[in-house]
A and B are shown apart, each in its own frame.
Chain A
Amino acid sequence: MTVIEAHGLRKTYGKTTALDGVDLRVEEGRILGLIGLNGAGKTTALNAILGLTNFEGELKVLGRNPWTERNELMRDVCFIADVAVMPRWMRVSQALDYVAGVHPRFDRAKAEGFLAKTAIKRTSKVRELSKGMVAQLNLALVMAIDAKLLVLDEPTLGLDILYRKQFYDSLLNDYYDHNRTIIVTTHQPEDIQHILTDLVLIDCGRIVLDCSMEEYESRYQEVMTHPDQINAARALRPMQERQMLGRTIFLFDGADRRQLAALGEVHTPSIADLFVAILGKTSDQKQGEAR
């Protein structure tokens, strides 16, 4: 089943174009990472998917138009918009009562179970919790909702490495199954690289890369070479080359793995490195076009 289907999705704010013709298709059971710089259009795309903003073009989420059919859609879709949007005056027990009251698919026992693994007290107010604990609380609430689509927009921004790791571990181990679909955006793609099934890179409102992680791993390779093999590596037309600790690292798109192995150690590049390489390439192209 297709969870999200977008064709020519556009959104402008006055003269700025936040989304410039996005085509996207997300199938059920995928964990999609949406990666981009600040202002690239990630949040706008998610807001359109969640029915928080109007849009131009075609967009269907679980077969519904999220803007016009938001009320029906929200029974099957859940999201964490940011790290700090839980109301600060609310008590943990009130949050549980309220979500149990309004959400027909909320399993309170499950949420209590998740909270029992944390140091969060039922009587605490959100303002008394640390940022990491608020994220845990929000995740506990969201994971106890039997939703078809979960959207996480920077859910771990500003949290320390321990909370971030726990967050994604519990998401994968306690929540994810193959009937659910998750979309995550983050500025720390290294946190989520190992859990993703799909990757979308977005820049200036356009999708610059859309591939599954299997495709990613077979297509992109990184080689760390000795100085005497630099010319041999350059002959294979790398996407990017950079220096690190006196050695040169080349990033290849679709090169032959055996040929690369002869040059040095071959790795799968990190999402961040690939993203920088792709952005560098597109900005070179733009400069070329300008000339």
Chain B
Amino acid sequence: MNTPLNAVPESPLEARETTPVAVAATRPLYWSIRRELWENGSIYLAPLIVASLYIIGFLISIIRMPQTLAALADPVHQRAMIQTPYHAASFVLLLTAFFTGAFYCLDALYGERRDRSVLFWKSLPVSDLTTVLAKACIPLVVLPLITFVVILATQIVIFLLSTGFTLKNGFSAAALWVQLPLLKMWISLLWAIVASVLWYAPIYGWLLLVSSYVRRGVFLSAVLPPFAIGLVEKISFNTHYFSDMMTFRLTGWYTQAFVPLMPGAVSPVDPLTQLTLGRFLSRPELWIGLVITAVFLAAAVQLRRSREPI
């Protein structure tokens, strides 16, 4: 897999001659990320499989499309009808990326202790900081990039399929093309990915921390504490600040980074008018979340240093 860091020279001699300081810092990180991809094929397989299934599903649904489209004279509803598969593809693949990233994080620092391979990794000059950063890069950088590319590819495929099918059935593809501002949709998608990753960063940080600490029951150890805190708060004070906070952590990136679509409403012609960068970037929750992420990761580095194999 290609990552932006792969510009690092291949030969160690070459590397030493050019910029020794930069090489010393980035080479172990680059190779650590590569080895994560070797070990965890699901990072790119999961989005690819979901995308393939989605396209198959779309192929089956497309058979009815031209007739339905023609029946909808109203351009607003036509637009909704045409755009829905594209939004659904983004949604499904973003969800896949979240779950893939979450389960990856849960195993990242636990699995290596369980199979004792941590002793092999630690026998090489790769610091705990580099290792934890490489592992954090998977849900924060690598998965989002892969997801973006896969969504783009999926949307292009369904665009070509629907165009081909419309033409073949003797309908004009004009409506399709007019109603799909693909380029603007992709900019909007990129923003959605950036916003969701920044917003979810503390979740990934928490999962990595749990993964570096527990000796067993990694999933329950990650999921139960937030529920327990919410429950205790509810019983003791009959309030629900904590569970509101957790819900906001899960949904907030969408409600803050975009103009939320009312139920039953139709998305506007220009998707870029829906982006609310300023509102998202000025949410204190975003920045507090990023600070908490840094704290979680720092703790995971310390734990990886001192925890012994299980």
Give bound CA distance, A94 to B30, whole Å. Answer: 14
Residues of B within 8 A of A52 (CB): 119, 122, 308
- Asked if B126 is at the interface (CB within 8 A of a chain A CB), the reply is yes
- Asked if B28 is at the interface (CB within 8 A of a chain A CB), the reply is yes
- Asked if B135 is at the interface (CB within 8 A of a chain A CB), the reply is no
* Beta-carbon contact of A104 and B119 below 8 Å: no
Give bound CA distance, A142 to B125, whole Å. Answer: 12
Given known A86-B117, A87-B115, contact A74–B16 (CB-CB < 8 A): no
* Beta-carbon contact of B124 and A102 below 8 Å: yes
Residues of A within 8 A of B16 (CB): 104
- Asked if A180 is at the interface (CB within 8 A of a chain B CB), the reply is no
- Residue on A with the closest CB to B38? A94
Give bound CA distance, A87 to B123, whole Å. Answer: 13
* Beta-carbon contact of B124 and A54 below 8 Å: no
Interface size class of B (residues with CB under 8 A): 20 to 34
Given known A54-B306, A87-B39, contact A102–B31 (CB-CB < 8 A): yes
Given known A101-B27, A102-B32, contact A85–B125 (CB-CB < 8 A): no
- Asked if A266 is at the interface (CB within 8 A of a chain B CB), the reply is no
- Asked if A88 is at the interface (CB within 8 A of a chain B CB), the reply is yes
Give the size of the chain A interface in residues (CB under 8 angstroms): 33
Q: From the candidates A53, A91, A106, name the one contacting B308 in the complex (CB within 8 A).
A: A53
* Beta-carbon contact of B38 and A90 below 8 Å: yes
A114 → chain B closest CB, angstroms = 17
Give bound CA distance, A238 to B118, whole Å. Answer: 47
* Beta-carbon contact of B39 and A104 below 8 Å: no
- Given pairs A86-B117, A101-B27, 8 additional interface contacts (CB within 8 A): A81-B120, A85-B117, A88-B117, A101-B34, A102-B27, A102-B126, A104-B125, A142-B123
User: Taking beta carbons and an 8 Å cutoff, which residues of A are in contact with B?
Assistant: 50, 52-54, 70-71, 74-75, 78-82, 84-91, 94, 97-104, 106, 138, 142
User: Taking beta carbons and an 8 Å cutoff, which residues of B are in contact with A?
Assistant: 12, 16, 24, 27-28, 30-32, 34-35, 38-39, 112, 115-127, 305-306, 308
